[in-house]
Every structure is written in structure tokens, then in C-alpha cells.
Structure 1
Amino acid sequence: MDLTDIKGIGKKKKECLQRLSINSVSDLYNYYPKEYEDRSKKFMLSSNIDENKHYFEWTIESKIYMKYSRKSTISYLYASENEKKIKLIWFNDKFSPRKLKIGETYKFYTKVKTDGQNFECYNPMFTNLKDLSIGSIIPIYSLTRSITNNNLRNFINEALKYYNMDENFLGNKLIRKFEFSSKLSNLKEIHSPSSIIKLKKAKSEIKIVDFLKELIFIYLMNKENYYQKLDLEYNLDEILGKLDFELTSSQYKSLVDILNDINSNSPMNRLLCGDVGSGKTIIAIISMIIFGLNKYQSAMMVPTEVLASQQYEKNKDFIESFGLKVSLLTSSTKNKDKIKMDLKKGKIDILIGTHALIVDDVDFNNLKFIVADEQHRFGVRQRQSLYQKGSNANYLTMTATPIPRTLYLKISKLLNLSQITELPKGRGEIRTEIILESMRNSIDNKLKKVLAEGRQVYIVSDSIDSDDKNSVENLYSYYKSNFREYKVKKLHGKLKSIEKEDILKEFSKGNIDILISTTVIEVGIDIKNANTMLIYNANNFGLSSLHQLRGRIGRGRYESYCYLICEKFNEKSKLNIIKNSNDGFEIARKDLKLRGAGKILSTIQHGKNLNDIDYFNLKENEINLCFEIFEFSKEENFKNINLKYLENYFNIDKGIVLN
């Protein structure tokens, strides 16, 4: 069945949906909302109403009044709720209020401002009393051009009529025993929630079943026999002796875990977990060097060109000190053809790059070790493509996502896991402060002191060139004119790849004092002299992103400073969590509590939609239930599990258990 068979989807809409990786009817109904807006509870006007949007029912009491100025048009009218009156105001919109008729009652979803007696709202959303888009829980989807939220809701509800029963994973016996609903019922609840309680149950069951697929797949794959005989020779003391620092105990243990794996008779599939800045990459580099010394090729795939260039420049001298050849391959690499030819001939031992590594004409001579860094940023097919360029290659995935101890202990029985639990020695302390925008003079004075000491500064914004006064462009103008004695540059995703690389190289060399950037610097950037970060619009970032960003500083011996800049602040602000903790797991746990969100198992989830949706997470009781179902199913030899679907679901992933 083609997407165009769904009511409302023509050729153009199909092309738009494909930009969201929706290529089939199954993809459509398995495309989960990114969040929900609870418009189900009706509120009444009161003097202590908060600043959030709420659902109200008001009766229109007056005609429309108009005010004109050179720049804008203001339309307004009055409505009532019992004895209370409210002024409804529209800016530059003469048409919406004309739909409201005097004496009629409508649903409104809006914020209300009040001084205790008078009530006002601006550009309110409204519908008639029968319309359920106000008065229910509304799923909010990630969108693309020409696709609205209503489009997706309608398309998905239509697609659910054609649900493929072959996607049912649990047999009836398991559904009855563990009191689950069918997948179809859960999908209907997820896309058209009837209540918060039922929605939570449906989401929980969907993710438990998804994780159960992982456990059964991993268990069955571990029973298959893959054989390798590498007989790697190396002098670990000699390799570690060339480092200008000493590995932490957990770094060393993780390295030993990897070396034990690659010297076994089966190819390695290991997950290396460690908090931001814990030193995962050097463990991968040492492992690749060992393969290179034994005439095998290695590849490290990272998500961005900036990060690929950084890893290449940072590790090139160390790798080449062993007589090995390392190259960089990204979409903007100039000498691609020569690199590809040398790679095919076996003249390159280690290749570091981005998605450019998986292009069809990239051929390895003897690829035996693969590293996926920040791997959750890659799609399953991309990771498969790289794996297929080797022959039973050893596979290491790395993540900064903390895994709770409960899950770690349970899943380590099935998976090869290593955790780096401490930061490298010699790191400066990071002090985090929350500062109001109104204190800009104070901020500037702090910066000038740091810059005068010869250090460098990151300034981060969540927007590039919007009307926001704190966008990259506006901040660039401000710091360029107020810090004229210092070199100021901007870095963001709209720049060409070569420009981004050049700017980062100059910053790394110390030739740029202030780098104003978007979150393009969120992962992997390691510049020891940069000890200060200002994050503007800090309230707009998730806790995990703030923690990742902060991890760019504190990498040298200097005391470091992270300033979270916001317009408003109170004692209950989530920013206090970042201010008071540097513990990645603690922050992730509190992020989950705040948002009902945050990834824990992104490293071992195959489902592309679940991979992308933050709130699909596992809590301790869900982990325990999942393992209970797993153990029960295993005892019954999985006869109540749809193994055929499992095989189709993972397709050619059999070689990469951890991707």
C-alpha cells in the first residue's frame, strides 16, 4: 500500500512526508509525537491565574473595535464568563475576530493577563464548542515545510485503519499475563489520547516492547557463532608511555575490556559509556593504533565535520608517532579521490570522518575495527553501511548518555558494556553561575578579566539571525563593537564546511579570543585554553544540552566559568540543577523528572522513531518488567514472540548488536 492511498496524501504531500523519513503507511502510524499539549481541563477566570495557556469557554459580548497606526492594526472585542469580562486582542489580524458572533459561546486556548480585576488575552486560538482540538490532549509532531500538525494527525488516524497485524510482537498469552494492550490500541492512544493516565500506560508499553525486542535479539545473536583469529601483537606500556597524561583507572579498565574482546575468538561489540569530558575518545584512538600496528584498518565515524576535523587534528601527531597513516574524510575534503585510492590500497591505517565514510565508492582494504562516536546521531542504515565495508569487523560504540545502575547491572549480562566513571586528572574546576541579562555590565567585566589572562571564551545562543536580541548575529555585533581589542568570530550551521573548519582551527590555535556559536560546538570540541562559556537564553535549552555545552570548558588546568544568562530567574528554575551539579547522571535523572524526557537507551534502540523521541525512556519499574517478560519468554523458548517480525525488524543488523 502506497502513502498516496491514504486520504489527503497526494504526490506533493508524499514528498514532504519523505523528508520526515515517512516512506510507508507503517512509518506514518509509527511516527510518534515529540510532545503533548494538554488542553483537556477547562479553566475559569481568576485573579491568580498563571502565565500558561489554558482552555476557557467565553461568550462574545461586543462588536469588533479597531485601532490603526502606521506600523500595525489592533482588533479587539469583549467576551464574558459569568460576571467577568475579558478583552480579546488581535495584532495585525482583522479576519480572525470576524468569525466570532455576538451571543455565541466558543472554546478558547490562550494565556490570560490580569491585574487582579481586568483580564486580557492576545491572539487567542478558538473553536466552536464541538471541536475537540480544544478540550482534549493534543499530540505535537516534528514537522517539515508544507506539513502541518493537523495534516499529520489526520494522515495518521487514517493510516491506523490499515494497521499491519504482522507488527504485533507479543502473543495473546503474554498480553493477558502481563495485562498489556495490543500495539494498535496503544498507537491509537498515543496519537489520540483519551486521558493522561491511559496515554502514560500506552507510551510505557510501547517502549517496554521495543526494549524487549532488543533483549531477545541480543540474546539470540549471542547464541550465533562468529569467529575471528587476529592474534594482535602490541606493547601497551610503550603505547601508554607516549601519552602526556595518565589514564584514569576506569579508562584503563575500559581499554583492557576492549583488548580482551578483540583478542577473543569472536568479533567485539562493546558499548563504552562515559560522561561529558571523561576521555572516551582516547580509548578508541589507542585501540585503533593497536589494529594499525597489526596491519588492520580502523574507521571512526563522528556526526559533524567540525568534530571530525577536531579529532583528526588533535590525534594526528600521536597516531603518526607509531609510523601509521591517518586521514580525514568529510564531504568538504579536497583530495577525496586520492584518500579513497590510498584507502583501497591499504595505505591508510586509520580513517576519521563523517557520513562521507559510508559513500558507495569508499572501499577499505582490510577494515577490522569501527568506532561510532556520539553514535545516536546516526541512523541505523548509516551505521550498517559502515559495518558492511569490513568483514566481521570489531565494533565499538561510544555515548555520553548515562545509564542508570539498575539498567547497567541487568543489561550487562547480555551486552558488553564499559563505563568511564571519573574525569581525567588535572582538569580545572568549573564554576557555574546564573546571571540576569540586566547585569550585562557585570558579565562584560568578568569576560574582560578572563581575556586579559590570555584565556578564550565561548558564547552560545539558541538562534542564528532571528529578531532575538541574543541571536548569534546580534551577539556578534555587540561583542565586536564592545571588545574591539579582541578577535571575535561567529560559528553556526549556515556557514560552509570549510569556513567552520577554519574558524575552529584558528580558535584551537588561540588566534580567536571570543567564539560566538550555536550548539554546533555541543559535542567533542576540546580546547584547553577556553575556560569560560556564556550561554544566552539559557532557559531555552534542555538540561542535557546545557551539560553537554558546559563540557566544552574545564578541559585544561585553569579554573573555568560557565555563566547561564536569562531574562528571568527564580529559586525553582531548572538552571539551579546545572548550577549545583556536574554529575551527568544526576542531571539526566532530574531532566527526566522535569520533562518526563531524556534518553537512556538511545545507544541500543533500533526503532527510528523511538530513537528520535526524547520522552521514550525507561524507568526502573519498566526495566524490571521488561526483564520479567524476557525471562518468562525465554523459558517458553519464545513461542509467544513474533520472531519473524523480529528478524524483519532488525534486518541486516545482525552484525552490529549495539547499533
Structure 2
Amino acid sequence: MLSLPSEEGEKFHRLGIGSITALSLIAPTSFEDRRLSHELSANTQCVIDATVEHVVRTPKTLKITFFAHNLECVIEGVIFHPKPYMIHQFPKNERAFFSGKAQWELGKWTIVHPMKISAVGSLIPIYKTPLRIDVMRRLIEKNITIANLIADGLPEVIASELYGIHFPELPKPMSESQLHALKFGELYEYMRRLRLKRRYHNTSYRASGDIRAWMKTLPFELTEDQKNAINEIENDLIAQYASRRMIVGDVGSGKTMVILASVILMQPHRSILMAPTTILAAQLYEEAQKFLPNLRIALVTNATKKGSLEEYDFIIGTHALLHRPLPEAGLVMVDEQHRFGTAQRHALTKLTDNDTSPHYLQFSATPIPRTQAMIDSAHIDVSLIVQTPFTKNIATRIIGKSDFTKLLDHIRFEITQDHQVLIVYPLVEQSESINYQSIDEARGYWEKNFENVYITHGKDKEKEAVLMAFRENGNVLLATTVVEVGISLPRLSTVVIVGAERLGLSTLHQLRGRVSRTGLQGYCYLYSNKSGKNERLESFSTCTSGFEIAALDLKFRSSGDLLEGSIQSGKKFRWADIGEDEVIVREVKNYLAPQKD
């Protein structure tokens, strides 16, 4: 990266940028044409090379008679409500360059509010920034050169296009190639900054487990996406540097098997996995015992008695892992990584008693668009598991008040089939600002008309126990989005999402993913009081892939910001649109690839 002149540092800081490339992305909002005029056009700026022949002051105007050498004619300039000092700006017989708006009135040309100018013969860019306009212009003139942009790492063709945005030969709208250069430059700058955040650490933990032999013992065939992710992880775990990889899989895509395969690969070294809830940790523990029968596996929760974990090959736990001594481990994994704070995730890797870094894998069930994955890969390696072991059959419908009777009939029928129903409410308590019932308002109706109704929400300290009890004995569960990620409910066939238009598409997909976990016919009802067509919900109801839905989410709301820590919402890019510009994202990624450490 090209180092910045120290005297310019404060100006770059005020602009919120840190490189020449970032400076070049601040495009002019307009241009002032300072080229000498060869003819005049009404109500447009003109520039004349003129001699002042006469000046007359009246109570409300200052009139100046010019002889314009470039036009070879006499033109009158007029300034309305002049300040006293202005008369001294037009000494008689002085020849200079003047600019003003040309007007045709009463059969003659006049120039309104003429002013003396010095820079002539070019287009002067106008910038809207925290810096004074002349300071910004000088900053651009000094720093934005093709040579500087190339020295900052950009390809020559992009550097030339960016330079041309600030120093055009003719006034014209921005071209497609210039817009492409702005998008390329913005993505390049962002992905380069992400790469700078990445740290490479030597590791002495090398994978040597026999993954092929283990895969042959499974009672089913893994999907190609699962196999590809396992191969990528295997390559990581035998490398010189500690792995930093994120595995992103849709709901029900079989991430658990990839977790267990990673444990096998890491043999003979120990693996540790942290899950966000006791329920999830317990489910993973059960799966591990089933598919890793030859390994010693421990489950650590707040309820677990403290003792040495040295004898175990695989330790699964909640955040309780952060509060007890852990034995040395070659692989640390975090499931549903977005539900932990950054400090918690880092604490787990630091708590392992190692001289060299363990490998680190994080898993997420919140799909991201391919473009987002390509961008993220500048900071951390990314594997996508798009396929699912079996096709979920979930019917999604948008319903309103008029459909309530039919909905009740459906719920009663599903319960007779020993199936379960989840109803997600937007709030626990009543709110005047939201035109939907809360759980507190609705629970009386459901408890009166149905048996085995369970209730939980985010602030419920017993929510995990409630979910466990509902899984075994419940018919209807009333909850908030606390169930978005978590417990597996094999008998759950129906989810009703109240006020669906208020939730992001990714959240809706996670909630819908709670049903049909074992191949049941599933139903998702999006309940809305809003009349009229909702394009966002209509698009969601016809889409089943979480990765497609993530791309839809980008279409309907701005992308987030990895560098600042949030990737859920908020505008990240000014020029690029990662929902539409996949080709340019790939172009930048490929351009950066040879520079990988």
C-alpha cells in the first residue's frame, strides 16, 4: 500500500480514508467549466478573456463594460446588490479572465455576477466533503495520478479510469467503464483492508486421521458439498499455518457431520466445540456419541461438575467452557458463531494451553450470498454447504385475519397426527407501537382452546427447559424469535409467524427451517395485518434455498459491514452492490489472489 505524505494525514483523517485509492473513490459531484468560451449560450456559465472598459455604480447594481477578446465583442456585466469592496475588483483597463452566467436580454448579451478567476482552460471539479472545496481540489491534484494509483496496487486500466473521473477532457456523464472502475476500486480497497486484518500463525498440530475409513462407516452418503467442505478443512489441518475457516450451511444441510469429520481429521489431537445453548450442545453430544463410537467425548455445561478433561478426545460445551481450565487442543470449533461475541470466541482460543495456535473453525446456519462469501474470504477462508441431504417439503403461504378459521382447522388436524405447531409472536408484552398481539395477550386464547400449550421467549431463564419439555409433550409452542436457531423438533410440522413483514428474510428462513427437520410435510404461514401485495414476502414464499434468500435480503435491504463488525444491515458500499456485482467481486478476488501470503 502506498504510504501517505505525513502532512496530508490530517486531511485524509477528516475524510475518513487511509489510502490514495480511497481518495480516488470520492468522485466530483459536478464540474465548473473554466475553458474559454467560443460562443455564448443563454443561462449557462461562460469564461471570457476581457479588458475592463468602464464601471458604473448605481444604488442597486454595479455595471461593468467588458471587451471580450476571445469573442471579439463588447459585453456588459452586472452585479446586483454589490458590496462596497466589489468595485475595486474591476480596475479600468485591466485585462483578466472572468466567469459568470450569460443571459440574452433586450437584444444583447450580459454576464450576471462576473467574477475574476485564475485557473483557466480546464474543467474544475466540485467536491462535497468536510474539507474546504479548494483544499480538497489541491489534495486531489497532488495525489491522484495514474502512477500513484498503480503504486497503490490497482491495475493500470482501473487507475486510468479513476484518474479520468477527476480530470476529464470534456464535460460528460460518467461512463460505464468509469462506474466499473469505482466499483472495482471500492471492493479492492475493502478486501485489501480485510486481508490486513488476517493474521497467520504457525501451528504444530497436523491432521492425520483416516477420514475415508470413517466415511465408509456412515449409514448414508455425504453430499458433494459436505465432502468438498471436509476436503477444504483437511487441506487446512495439514498446513503450516493454523486454519481460520468459516463453514456456512443452510438449515438442515448437515453441518454436524462436517463438525464430526473435522474431529476425525484432527486425530490424534484433541478437539473442542463451543455451542451457544445447552440444548444445541446436548444434541451435538448425542450425534457425536452415535457417529464417533471410538472416541471419548465430554459434555460441559453450567450443570457439569468441574474436573479434569485431559482424558477426553472431543469436548463439547456451552460458554461454560470459558470458565474452567481446558486441556491442550489442536482444533477449536464454534457452532452458530454469530451468537457469541467476538471476545467470547477469542477467549476460547486463548484458554487452550498451547505454545502454538490451534486450528479454528466457525460454523453458521445463516446463509450468505456467494458475493459476500467471496468478500469474506479476504479475511477468513469460507466453505459453503448449499446442498441438503434431503429435500424439505415446506409449503409457504401469506395469510391474514380472514384466513384464521382455516388456520385453526389446520392446526387441529396436525395435532391429531401427533405433529407440533410453533406460533412466533413479535413481542412478549403489549405494545402501542406494534399492531399485533403479544404472547401475553394471545396465550389465554391458545391455553383455553388447546391442550399442552408451552410458552417461552428470549428473557425466559427457563427457555431451554421449556423447549425440552415441549419437544417431548407439547402440541403448541408460543415463542418469540428465540427459537430461530436451536433445538431440533422432529415432530414440528407447522410454523405461524405473526407480523412476518417486520422480520428480515434470513430470520424468516431460520424460523421456517425449524419445521420438516425429518422429512415431514411442512407448513409455514406468514401472518400479516397489512393489506395489499408484499413483494418481499411473495419472493420469500417461492424461494427455499437459504443462499438465494440471502441474495434476496440484499436486494431488499442494504448489505452490512464486516470491518466494523456488523454484517446484518446498514450500507457498506457507495458504488458497489454485492447483490448485483458478483462478476466484479470475483474479478477483484482473482486480482488479489496472487498476493496471498
TM-score, scaled relative to structure 1: 0.57
User: Structure 1, residues 585-640: CA drift from partner, whole Å, max 9, x if none?
Assistant: 2222222222234x5xx7xx3533x44644436634777778888999999x99xx
**Which residue of the partner structure matches residue 280 of structure 2?**
307
Give the CA deviation at 1:327. 0.8
**SS of 2:496 mapped into structure 1:** strand
State how 1:4-403 maps to structure 2 within 5 Å.
173-174=148-149, 209-218=189-198, 221=199, 226-230=202-206, 232-234=208-210, 236-238=212-214, 241=217, 243-291=218-266, 294=268, 296-312=269-285, 314-315=286-287, 317-318=289-290, 321-329=293-301, 333-336=302-305, 338=306, 341-343=307-309, 346-359=310-323, 362-390=324-352, 391=354, 392-403=357-368
C-alpha distance in 1 between matches for 2:420 and 2:534? 32
SS in 2 for 1:459: strand
- Larger relative contact order (CA 8 Å, sep ≥ 6): 1
Alignment partners' CA distance in 2, 1:457 and 1:531? 6
Structure 1 CA distance, aligned partners of 2:254 and 2:396? 22
Residue of structure 1 equivalent to 2:470: 507
Match of 1:546 in 2: 508
Amino acid at match of 1:215: R
- Kindly tell me: are residues 629 and 459 of structure 1, through their superposed partners in 2, closer, same or farther at Cα, counting changes over 3 Å? closer
What residue number does 1:462 align with?
426
1:217–1:447 CA distance, 2 compared to 1 (3 A): same
Q: Which has the larger radius of gyration?
A: 2
Q: Give the corresponding residue for 1:479.
A: 446
Distance 1:250 1:535 in 2: 31
Report matched runs for 1:415-494 at 5 Å.
416-425=381-390, 427-467=391-431, 470-483=437-450, 486-494=451-459
Counterpart residue type for residue 209 of structure 2:
E
Deviation at 1:454, TM superposition (A): 0.8
> Post-superposition shift, 1:447?
0.4
Deviations 1:213-263 (A, max 9, x none): 113444xx4xx562425352336434552x454321211221232223223
**2:247·2:384 contact (CA, 8 Å) conserved in 1?**
yes
Task: Flag the 1:378–1:615 CA change in 2: closer, same or farther, 3 A.
Answer: farther
SS class of match (2:232): helix
Q: Distance in 2 between matches of 1:406 and 1:428?
A: 25
**Percent sequence identity over matched residues?**
30
Among residues 559, 575, 582, which one is paired with 2:521 in the alignment?
559
- What residue identity is the alignment partner of 1:558? L
Q: Match of 1:514, as an amino acid?
A: V
Mark the CA change 1:276 to 1:381 in structure 2 (over 3 Å): closer, same or farther.
same
Distance in 2 between the 1:451 and 1:225 partners? 54
Separation (CA, whole Å) in 2 of partners of 1:378 and 1:589: 24
Match of 1:568, SS? coil
- 2 CA distance for matches of 1:388 and 1:516? 39
Distance 1:246 1:626 in 2: 34
- Report SS of the residue matched to 1:531: strand
Using a 3 Å threshold, how does the CA distance of structure 1 residues 246 and 504 change in structure 2: closer, same or farther?
farther
Distance 1:323 1:404, change over 3 A: closer
Amino acid paired to 2:300: L
- Partners in 1 of 2:592 and 2:490 — Cα distance? 51
Q: Deviations over 1:367-409 (max 9, x none)?
A: 2111122223333322221111233111112223444445656
1:575 partnered with 2:550? no
Relative distance call for 1:472 and 1:179 in structure 2 (3 A) is farther
Question: Which secondary structure state, in structure 1, belongs to the residue aligned with residue 330 of structure 2?
Answer: strand
Pair 607,204 (structure 1): closer, same or farther in 2 beyond 3 Å: farther
* TM-score, structure 2 normalization: 0.62
CA contact (8 A) 2:335 2:364 kept: yes
CA distance in 1, matches of 2:553, 2:420: 30
CA distance in 1, matches of 2:563, 2:577: 19
1:203–1:492 Cα change, 3 Å: farther
In structure 2, C-alpha distance between the alignment counterparts of 1:204 and 1:563, rounded to whole Å: 41
**Contact 2:207–2:265, Cα closer than 8 Å, also in 1:** no
**Partner-residue secondary structure (3-state), 1:574:** helix
Deviation at 1:288, TM superposition (A): 2.4
Letter in 2 for 1:299: I
Cα root mean square deviation, aligned: 3.8
1:273 and 1:418 in contact (8 A); partners too: yes
Structure 1 stretch displaced more, 557-566 or 523-532: 523-532
Q: Contact conserved, 1:320 with 1:326, CA < 8 A, in 2?
A: no
Aligned mates of 2:465, 2:592 — CA distance in 1: 55
Letter in 1 for 2:439: V
- CA distance in structure 2 between the partners assigned to 1:589 and 1:267 by the alignment: 31
Are the structure 2 counterparts of residues 266 and 208 from structure 1 closer, same or farther at C-alpha, using a change threshold of 3 Å? closer
Kindly provide the CA deviation profile for residues 325-344 of structure 1, in whole angstroms up to 9, marking residues without a partner as x. Answer: 22132xxx2235x1xx323x
List alignment gaps of at least 5 residues for structure 1.
Answer: 1-25, 31-170, 181-201, 639-656
Q: Distance in 2 between matches of 1:279 and 1:452?
A: 30
C-alpha separation in 2, matches of 1:633 and 1:239: 36
Q: Specify which of 534, 538, 552 is matched with residue 590 of structure 1.
A: 552
Contact 2:275 2:281 in 1 (8 A): yes
Q: 1:462 and 1:259, CA in 2 relative to 1: closer, same or farther beyond 3 A?
A: same
Amino acid at match of 2:284: Q
Is 1:532 the counterpart of 2:494? The answer is yes
Cα pair distance change 1:342/1:227, threshold 3 Å: closer
**Residues 1:255 and 1:238: Cα distance change in structure 2 (over 3 Å):** same
